[in-house]
């Protein structure tokens, strides 16, 4: 399905739930569904991209609407380390691993952690929600590499 079609479906779903479709909200949805490399965006970056289209959009508007989109199941936010949360479309369930050495973010299939989640639930009564926080690790390029002085 084309990005414009997916964006339009989100706006229709928003209207069905009683939400307003303002020019700012339309621009945010278009930014999120654009074909550009916008896989993981902070709310501040979304605001910059939206302001390229509509210069007077305030960052608080972006934050509030991202929460609305999260409630609709359109986006998720994830914490990839010590920085701000980033947002991404929920089209495919996946988890994130951040390389502790170089900062590279690797997406892994959401099912990759299902066995661990089942074990944690069976042994400790805890269900793993791995999409919200990134796991720490080392990417292939950094494994074994040492930056000794």
pLDDT number for residue 148:
45
Q: Which of 24-38, 43-57, 60-74, 95-109 is predicted least confidently?
A: 24-38
Alpha-carbon distance 131 to 110, whole Å? 8
Give pLDDT, residue 94.
83
Of 121, 112, 144, the C-alpha closest to 135 is: 112
**Percent of the chain that is helix, strand, coil (3-state, to 5):** 40, 15, 40
> Which pLDDT value is given to residue 37?
62
pLDDT at site 91? 76
Percentage of the chain lying above the pLDDT 90 cut: 48
CA distance 136 to 101: 10
CB 87 within 8 A of CB 140: no
Q: In the predicted model, is pLDDT for residue 110 greater than 90?
A: no
């Amino acid at each position: 399905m084309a990005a414009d079609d997916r964006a339009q479906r989100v706006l229709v779903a928003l209207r069905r739930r009683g939400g307003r479709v303002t020019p700012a909200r339309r621009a945010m949805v278009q930014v999120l569904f654009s074909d550009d490399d916008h896989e993981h965006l902070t709310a501040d970056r979304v605001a910059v991209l939206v302001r390229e289209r509509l210069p007077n959009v305030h960052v608080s508007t972006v934050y509030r609407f991202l929460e609305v989109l999260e409630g609709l199941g359109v986006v998720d936010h994830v914490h990839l380390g010590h920085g701000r949360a980033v947002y991404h479309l929920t089209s495919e369930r996946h988890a994130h691993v951040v390389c502790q050495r170089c900062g590279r973010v690797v997406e892994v299939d959401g099912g990759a952690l299902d066995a661990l989640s089942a074990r944690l639930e069976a042994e400790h009564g805890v269900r793993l929600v791995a999409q919200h926080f990134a796991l720490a690790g080392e990417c292939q390029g950094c494994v074994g590499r040492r930056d000794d002085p």
